[in-house]
Amino acid sequence: MTTRKYTRPLFVGGFQVGGDAPVSIQSMLSVKSSVHIAAERQIQALVAAGCEIIRFSVMDMDDAQAISYLKRKSSVPLIADIHFDHKLAIAAIQKGIDGLRINPGNIGSRSGVESLVAIARERQVPIRIGVNGGSLPKELLHKYGHSKEAMVEAALSHVKILEDLGYYEIKISVKASDIHLMLASYRELARRVNYPLHLGLTESGTMLNGSIKSAMALGILLEEGIGDTIRVSLSADPLQEVRVAKEILINLGLRKGLKIVSCPTCGRTRINLIELAEKVEKALESFTDRNLTIAVMGCAVNGPGEAREADFGVAGGSGEALLFAKGEIVAKVPEDRLLDELIKLIEGSEA
């Protein structure tokens, strides 16, 4: 499989990112954090979906104040995303935030940054430097054009500010909405630094298209061994971001979970395979702690053979279906009992 590039580990709250930690999943609140109940509900839904780090915008002192409340309600680390105001960042730390996403070069005066780094060091709060292809400094755009050089130099200029203050609890992201620019920027950055990288394709779009683009962009880098934590950005419910991120990691072998393989329908198919595959996927959603591959095949001829590598599977016929385990047929069942029997078979195998 893939060898991951080794990065310097850091801790967001008690949660390790980088080093030998598995690639983690992040998402972002779509509600304002100062609306306590809505934010709390969204945090809990994200955690239930498998989100491991949650970020939110802190735009004013109300949002910063809300941190102490949300910290009590969250079982996962929280990160505050703050622009241009080191006082908000200091307030966020004082309220107990686990991590910051700020760019030291534009968060405030030199003395402001020094105060911020002093308290970040004292409270062990790591900082993500987040460069975005859409908001590069004019002088870098002028010097390099809209290129990986501009992206990486922007990131490294922020890094240098922290390093000059002796602070190394750093993660970096260089997000862009264009896949080629995003890939080139992360590859160059991975060559230049050993800080953990937060991967993201920004403004990737709507549910399906954004998932396709993010899967390509993140998948390409992760398969090369680049990336320590990921956020899939979608114009969709943040819960969907977590779902897509999980699917990416599971299928690259970077996380345990259920893989469903199912054949495309063809002239040979005699059952409603599309519906069956969707149903199997839904029925097995809760099996997240085991590495299982389940095959859902349209025909009994190729089914068991083609899914030999699957742990369990079903192959449809006319009205009845075959259940199989490791490529061997174990039962023939009527189609309407197929799901129950499959689940029974999987649960029985846990013992």
Please report, as residue ranges, which positions from 176 to 195 form the binding site for a second copy (by CB under 8 A).
177-180, 183
Min CB(136)–a second copy separation in Å: 9
Task: Give strand pairing partners of 57.
Answer: 81
**Pairwise CA distance, residues 333 & 319, whole Å:** 9
Min CB(14)–a second copy separation in Å: 26
Other C-beta atoms closer than 10 Å to the C-beta of 118 total 13
DSSP code string of 3-60: PPPP---EEETTEEESTTSPPEEEEE-SS-TTSHHHHHHHHHHHHHHT--EEEEE--S
Return the residues of window 20-59 that contact a second copy according to CB under 8 A.
Answer: 28-33, 56-57, 59
Distances, alpha carbon 162 to alpha carbons 13, 102, 232, 304, in Å: 20, 11, 27, 57
Q: Which is nearer to a second copy, 48 or 266 (CB)?
A: 266
Piece of 100-108, 128-136, 158-166, 328-336 that binds a second copy (CB under 8 A): 128-136
**Pairwise CA distance, residues 61 & 77, whole Å:** 20
Determine, following the binding rule CB under 8 A, whether residue 68 of this chain makes contact with a second copy: no
Return the residues of window 248-287 that contact a second copy according to CB under 8 A.
Answer: 248, 251-253, 260-269, 273-274, 277-278, 281
Return the residue of 82, 102, 307, 342 that touches a second copy, per CB under 8 A: 307
Return the residue of 6, 139, 305, 349 that touches a second copy, per CB under 8 A: 305
Cα-Cα-Cα-Cα dihedral sign, residues 27, 30, 32, 34? negative
Piece of 5-13, 87-95, 204-212, 340-348 that binds a second copy (CB under 8 A): 204-212
Note the maximum CA span of the chain.
Answer: 75
Return the residue of 37, 48, 61, 208 that touches a second copy, per CB under 8 A: 208
Determine, following the binding rule CB under 8 A, whether residue 288 of this chain makes contact with a second copy: no
Determine, following the binding rule CB under 8 A, whether residue 74 of this chain makes contact with a second copy: no
| Strand (E) or helix (H) holding 135 | none
- Mark 107-126 with x for binding to a second copy (rule: CB under 8 A) and - for no binding: --------------------
Min CB(88)–a second copy separation in Å: 13
φ, ψ (nearest 5 deg) of residue 263: -80, 155
